[in-house]
Chain A
């Protein structure tokens, strides 16, 4: 059957036609008034309230409240009330950093956008970056330094620490941090260690030790090279989620999708093979996804080496492992992948997520054989964001246990929570006399310390970064320090009695750096340009070209032998294999107290406010797992490991490899703040603490069903859209090459004059948009489902967080959701066939927001004209007119309207919505967007505040609006350019060119782009959001 006739289903429950699912799919809202959660108001209460209300209104009308207008005493030159200022700065948390542009209003940062000048992030952001601005206004941050569990001041802390540091004797002092890529910070640590002879240990919450060590062995540099997915025609990933939880996934997304976007002239795209056990974003976006046990990936890698070596290799180094192991692997698909790799010599990438040095060494050998070094992998540009060394951490812990440590400084790190040896560190810390943390809050590590010297937030600090060799990024404060915190670099300088503060040290370092450029520019101008651009590329010409380095042959034999023993050691097929991972929402848990991240649905499972065991449907039925989507109830599984047992909720996950389970890290925090504490299960305790390196794969897990019920919040099966072929359209590259219209769903309406296209049969008169006509195009081939647009929309539009209970009640508020559809090749009636396909479905992501229909069904049913049509094609929502009948939501075919069931601001019941419930959190709100009150409907506005702002800018400059003056928040955040927004009345606009608008007749677009389609075209609501058909590049033969 052709690709276009697939059956799509949103989850197991739809596939099985679960009765509660069918019932709920009919209802936009799960229950009727009176709603659960509101008090039991009787008619009498209503009348009482009414009477009181009238009295109150008349009393209030007597005297209006006095409001004040308080100007500055001394107005800063460049701050004007209600005008935003933008500063280039750098996001930095954990080991990650990202160049950003900070939007400030009246001196407070309210939004982070990507810095377009950066060659490391290419101007895109991730959900972590977007939400970090709220972490700045987290009330949980320490307001002062802490000495011996008491509030203290900096002078006392400095004296105490300086005194203690001199008592060191023959013992050691450690500084434990995440990977630090800031040259000046490293300089400070260097000076500190010169004075006190300290040892600096770096670690990453998701360790790259294996890859780094393998690189060091092969090339002599312990760094991660620059992978260029935009040059790779074939990518083979063994359990490495480079589009999701990797260290620079925004760039990888951009590079990868540049090879995926097709057009009439470019009908070629790359092919991605993924071998993995958890269904990751990379797997979801791959053309061939092969569910395997992660422990088998080394056999696959070894076998891939053997295949390639036999076909194009010159050496005799085959890996002759036990032949019985070969049964574990799918040779057919591996051969296909090998063929593709050979076809694309020098333009492919093979990558593995294993943290085992030996496995990574084989991967290096494969890439070398494929001549990828120098082409798709560049050793001259290496990343500095992952440098952690597991063996050094092991050394540190053994020193702790030997009691030879006098002091330890946890530099913004929280290893007692997020290191795989956390339990050992916690136990051994008791005997250390001096324990210092620079954490911004009392967390699992700092609570054990005698000194907490809270660091400032990155938006309050000066810093420089070198995320990639020769590529620098700068941080400047965009707000005055909110609390009595101190940048940890300054703290270190104080402790070594330096007269310099960090800012002057930073400037001096750059004064020296400027000399490398041999420019005669005055330093101030150079420095100003660095801060203005936020990034710089400065090449030290003294450095030698590292590439190519074909000297790794000497290691080969030993690598092969090592992996051989690794493969043979593999045993035990009885029990489950657990694969831990960092998800796209809370990630490693540093920002667990950020409710935006907690409420962001996982891109795949659409679960929020929890982590969960993901399990294959077959295994689930063996364990007798009962899930009920109507009440969002699932079972708690008892997970048994190392004689301990834990109860964790389960999600049946199609695509999960049989015999494996997945579980996200970053949850179950105990000391992060009221939002994140106790959310989910702390999976760090399951990590193998006997291993010499961090291993996210844990074997020998026993599962039992406790049969206890647990309610898990999922946004997945709400807002169901039936009749899939007009919602999601896709085809294969081969079909597309033959016919660009392949996969198009052609709907015809039966009339008395024969069959007609929907647009020819309409009751509507059409519109005429004289000025602008705002249109959005979303390329499903480019959307990888990462979800940074979801958070960007939330920040820009003051969208409230409603909490787990309300998500369970299906009352989440997000204006932009990403629908994830699984598909299978089976027929709807053939349950048997569907079940087989369900094992490993294709995944399609579809961002869905208000479609701004020209013939909007919501507008016609509103009894108070609260939702109306604008002369620019926008569907306007007027909150103060809305009386909350919800007719519009009932009549919306896309189910994108959100109702304010409660007052989410200034309401103790929604204290997790910290952006609207305390004075500090409220600083993050966008002053240009109304905070909605209870009882009104809301929805995507196409960022109308930005449209108005862009128009005003053009008017004041007395010119026509240029394309790019108006960009929606989701468009700005999208790292893959999947979302393009603009004015189709402007002949030069990108969206017009992209959709190839042929003519516009009464606001109806006639497009030449074959892939474009409107969702639910048959009902002829004529949406202004266009989707471009998804194309997969499956290998047929």
Chain B
């Protein structure tokens, strides 16, 4: 009976150690599962109007205005409560006229903001309405807005905590697991010793030959290590890992993923693209029309920084560059080899791909790093998977028709020669 027990215990411990990896994996998965997404709040505004207002706002106003912050002009939160809609519309259309008319509020505003004139915008009433609706909807998020600020500041902390938790619980689990194995081993050994002792007391009559074999088959570590099997497996694993890491190492030559050079000016995309939500197009003017997206010229910086934060040392660098007519030598982050031809407008204007798809969460980067691999495999993979943005583009009409007649799959880039050499190499 006792032998059964020891036998079973030994088996359990073996099975357990064999399946250690699987258990570890399931633990890991359960940990990851704990990271859950946040919920979004619905708003009581017509989403169509809000979104059209949002795009107008971001396209025209963000240069000088933000909802919650004073930029060049005042913060616009609750602007509809400060003045009537008619006044706001008139001011947007021609602020100079309103100021000249002697409107007290307008004159005060003008003086308060360094006598900077607001550009006149020729919006229709409908467009103005949508912008105002957008501002209203943003203003309504008041409580959340405050939180957003905190999140922006504490974003890193909260995410690091969650990841710390993950590793902590993982470590704890592994520790518990090892402890369990150790206890099992001890328990097996103890029970073996106990069985042997009993057997000796009974002069070897308690155990039959089979049982003895099991009891004697103690775990002899030296023999185990020196056995051919173990040496063979170990050397195989070693060579395999070595070769794999060599190959991996060679493959990384020329790949600059996560390359994050220090720039001459500590420009933050997190502030500009993230916090102030300035449209990428505003600075990267070439992205829809040409091969290169364009690093903005200093005069684009000066559009805002002619008045904003001119006293900060980093901004001073821009001002000096502008005054001395000396270009800023930004360090290039994304370096495609010369032999590969990549065209931004093909992908952004024609293909309708978002900037983030390749450049990653730019709006969260203080210092930009290379998010994607930018290898040929990476390009090709995307060309295999991506569907053609053929809607409303006459160029593709015939191709889509031909494709439909022969396939049920949607038309993908590879179907129209997107994997061919001279699409990118010539």
On whether the beta carbons of A73 and B426 are closer than 8 Å, the reply is: no
> Is B253 an interface residue, CB under 8 A from the partner?
yes
A interface secondary structure, majority = loop
User: How far, in angstroms, from A961 to B422 measured CA to CA in the complex?
Assistant: 19
> Is B213 an interface residue, CB under 8 A from the partner?
no
User: What's the minimum C-beta distance from B319 to chain A, rounded to whole angstroms?
Assistant: 12
On whether the beta carbons of B261 and A66 are closer than 8 Å, the reply is: yes
On whether the beta carbons of B422 and A874 are closer than 8 Å, the reply is: yes
Q: Who on chain A is nearest to B402 by CB?
A: A770
- Looking at the complex, which of B68-76, B192-200, B290-298, B355-363 is the stretch in contact with chain A? B290-298
On whether the beta carbons of A70 and B329 are closer than 8 Å, the reply is: yes
Q: Who on chain B is nearest to A770 by CB?
A: B402
Complex interface bits, A364-399 against B, C-beta within 8 A gives 1, otherwise 0: 000000000000000000000000000000000000
User: What's the minimum C-beta distance from B403 to chain A, rounded to whole angstroms?
Assistant: 8
A959/B327 contact (C-beta < 8 A), A82-B292, A930-B339 known: no
> Is B285 an interface residue, CB under 8 A from the partner?
yes
> Is A881 an interface residue, CB under 8 A from the partner?
yes
Complex interface bits, A940-958 against B, C-beta within 8 A gives 1, otherwise 0: 0100110010011011101
On whether the beta carbons of A74 and B298 are closer than 8 Å, the reply is: yes
Tally A residues with Cβ within 8 Å of B. 47
A771/B422 contact (C-beta < 8 A), A64-B254, A66-B331, A71-B328 known: no
A960/B422 contact (C-beta < 8 A), A69-B330, A73-B322, A80-B285 known: no
User: What's the minimum C-beta distance from A409 to chain B, rounded to whole angstroms?
Assistant: 37
Complex interface bits, A860-883 against B, C-beta within 8 A gives 1, otherwise 0: 000000001011101011111100
Chain B residues positioned under 8 Å from A57 (CB to CB): 253
Chain B residues positioned under 8 Å from A69 (CB to CB): 295, 330-332
On whether the beta carbons of B426 and A930 are closer than 8 Å, the reply is: yes
> Is B325 an interface residue, CB under 8 A from the partner?
yes
Q: Who on chain B is nearest to A946 by CB?
A: B426
Q: Who on chain A is nearest to B299 by CB?
A: A74
> Is B248 an interface residue, CB under 8 A from the partner?
no
On whether the beta carbons of B254 and A71 are closer than 8 Å, the reply is: no
User: What's the minimum C-beta distance from B353 to chain A, rounded to whole angstroms?
Assistant: 14
Which of B294, B420, B425 is close to A871, meaning CB atoms less than 8 Å apart? B420
A868/B423 contact (C-beta < 8 A), A61-B252, A71-B297, A73-B297 known: no
Chain A residues positioned under 8 Å from B399 (CB to CB): 770-771
On whether the beta carbons of B417 and A960 are closer than 8 Å, the reply is: no
User: How far, in angstroms, from A877 to B421 measured CA to CA in the complex?
Assistant: 8
> Is A83 an interface residue, CB under 8 A from the partner?
yes
Chain A residues positioned under 8 Å from B328 (CB to CB): 70-71
Chain A residues positioned under 8 Å from B422 (CB to CB): 870, 874, 876-878, 941, 944
On whether the beta carbons of A73 and B339 are closer than 8 Å, the reply is: no
User: How far, in angstroms, from A381 to B331 measured CA to CA in the complex?
Assistant: 59
Q: Who on chain A is nearest to B325 by CB?
A: A73
Which of B253, B299, B343, B423 is close to A73, meaning CB atoms less than 8 Å apart? B299
> Is B218 an interface residue, CB under 8 A from the partner?
no
> Is B4 an interface residue, CB under 8 A from the partner?
no
Chain A residues positioned under 8 Å from B421 (CB to CB): 868, 870, 876-878, 881
Q: Which residue, of A69, A74, A868, has the highest number of chain B Cβ atoms within 10 A?
A: A69
Instruction: Report A398-450 residues with CB < 8 Å from chain B CB.
Output: none
Instruction: Report B116-154 residues with CB < 8 Å from chain A CB.
Output: none
> Is B372 an interface residue, CB under 8 A from the partner?
no
User: What's the minimum C-beta distance from A647 to chain B, rounded to whole angstroms?
Assistant: 46
> Is B81 an interface residue, CB under 8 A from the partner?
no
Chain B residues positioned under 8 Å from A878 (CB to CB): 421-422, 425
Q: Who on chain B is nearest to A870 by CB?
A: B420
Instruction: Report B281-339 residues with CB < 8 Å from chain A CB.
Output: 285-286, 289-292, 294-300, 321-322, 325-332, 335, 337-339
Which of A74, A870, A872, A960 is close to B398, meaning CB atoms less than 8 Å apart? A960
A945/B335 contact (C-beta < 8 A), A64-B259, A75-B299 known: no
User: How far, in angstroms, from A68 to B330 measured CA to CA in the complex?
Assistant: 6
User: How far, in angstroms, from A959 to B395 measured CA to CA in the complex?
Assistant: 5
User: How far, in angstroms, from A168 to B332 measured CA to CA in the complex?
Assistant: 61
- Looking at the complex, which of B22-30, B97-105, B344-352 is the stretch in contact with chain A? B344-352
A81/B294 contact (C-beta < 8 A), A61-B253, A70-B329, A73-B326 known: yes
Chain B residues positioned under 8 Å from A877 (CB to CB): 421-422
User: How far, in angstroms, from A878 to B341 measured CA to CA in the complex?
Assistant: 12
User: What's the minimum C-beta distance from A220 to chain B, rounded to whole angstroms?
Assistant: 56
Q: Who on chain A is nearest to B425 by CB?
A: A878
> Is A67 an interface residue, CB under 8 A from the partner?
yes
Chain B residues positioned under 8 Å from A874 (CB to CB): 422
> Is B386 an interface residue, CB under 8 A from the partner?
no
User: How far, in angstroms, from A948 to B416 measured CA to CA in the complex?
Assistant: 13
Chain A residues positioned under 8 Å from B329 (CB to CB): 68, 70
Which of B327, B343, B395 is close to A960, meaning CB atoms less than 8 Å apart? B395
Chain A residues positioned under 8 Å from B208 (CB to CB): none
On whether the beta carbons of B295 and A930 are closer than 8 Å, the reply is: no
User: How far, in angstroms, from A68 to B349 measured CA to CA in the complex?
Assistant: 26
Instruction: Report A309-345 residues with CB < 8 Å from chain B CB.
Output: none
User: How far, in angstroms, from A71 to B286 measured CA to CA in the complex?
Assistant: 12
> Is A929 an interface residue, CB under 8 A from the partner?
yes
Instruction: Report A878-926 residues with CB < 8 Å from chain B CB.
Output: 878-881
User: What's the minimum C-beta distance from A651 to chain B, rounded to whole angstroms?
Assistant: 38
Instruction: Report A713-754 residues with CB < 8 Å from chain B CB.
Output: none
> Is B256 an interface residue, CB under 8 A from the partner?
yes
Chain B residues positioned under 8 Å from A46 (CB to CB): none
> Is A928 an interface residue, CB under 8 A from the partner?
yes
On whether the beta carbons of B335 and A871 are closer than 8 Å, the reply is: no
On whether the beta carbons of A930 and B395 are closer than 8 Å, the reply is: no
On whether the beta carbons of B297 and A72 are closer than 8 Å, the reply is: yes
> Is B21 an interface residue, CB under 8 A from the partner?
no
User: How far, in angstroms, from A840 to B295 measured CA to CA in the complex?
Assistant: 63
On whether the beta carbons of B290 and A71 are closer than 8 Å, the reply is: no
On whether the beta carbons of B426 and A944 are closer than 8 Å, the reply is: yes
User: How far, in angstroms, from A74 to B298 measured CA to CA in the complex?
Assistant: 6
Chain A residues positioned under 8 Å from B392 (CB to CB): 958
Which of B254, B291, B298, B395 is close to A958, meaning CB atoms less than 8 Å apart? B395
User: How far, in angstroms, from A930 to B337 measured CA to CA in the complex?
Assistant: 11
Which of A70, A75, A881, A952 is close to B346, meaning CB atoms less than 8 Å apart? A952
Chain B residues positioned under 8 Å from A952 (CB to CB): 343, 345-346, 350
Q: Which residue, of B420, B422, B425, has the highest number of chain A Cβ atoms within 10 A?
A: B422
Chain B residues positioned under 8 Å from A880 (CB to CB): 337, 339, 425
A70/B327 contact (C-beta < 8 A), A64-B259, A81-B294, A771-B417 known: yes
User: How far, in angstroms, from A943 to B154 measured CA to CA in the complex?
Assistant: 54
Instruction: Report A237-287 residues with CB < 8 Å from chain B CB.
Output: none
Chain A residues positioned under 8 Å from B256 (CB to CB): 64
Q: Who on chain A is nearest to B422 by CB?
A: A876
Q: Who on chain A is nearest to B252 by CB?
A: A61
Chain B residues positioned under 8 Å from A60 (CB to CB): 253
User: How far, in angstroms, from A817 to B322 measured CA to CA in the complex?
Assistant: 51
User: How far, in angstroms, from A1011 to B302 measured CA to CA in the complex?
Assistant: 64
Which of A73, A876, A961 is close to B420, meaning CB atoms less than 8 Å apart? A876
Chain A residues positioned under 8 Å from B425 (CB to CB): 876, 878-880, 930
User: How far, in angstroms, from A497 to B285 measured CA to CA in the complex?
Assistant: 46
- Starting from the known contacts A61-B253, A82-B292, A928-B426, 5 additional A-B residue pairs (CB-CB under 8 Å) come to A81-B291, A83-B291, A958-B395, A960-B394, A960-B398
20 A-B residue pairs with Cβ-Cβ distance under 8 Å, sorted by A, are A61-B254, A64-B256, A69-B295, A72-B299, A72-B327, A73-B326, A80-B285, A81-B294, A771-B398, A771-B417, A876-B422, A880-B337, A928-B426, A930-B339, A944-B426, A945-B341, A956-B350, A958-B394, A960-B395, A960-B398
Q: Which residues of A contact B (CB under 8 A)?
A: 57, 60-61, 64, 66-75, 80-83, 770-771, 868, 870-872, 874, 876-881, 928-930, 941, 944-945, 948, 951-952, 954-956, 958-961
Q: Which residues of B contact A (CB under 8 A)?
A: 252-254, 256, 259, 261, 285-286, 289-292, 294-300, 321-322, 325-332, 335, 337-339, 341, 343, 345-346, 349-350, 392-395, 397-399, 402, 416-417, 420-423, 425-426
State the 5 A-B residue pairs at the shortest beta-carbon distance, nearest first.
A75-B297, A82-B291, A876-B422, A72-B297, A871-B417
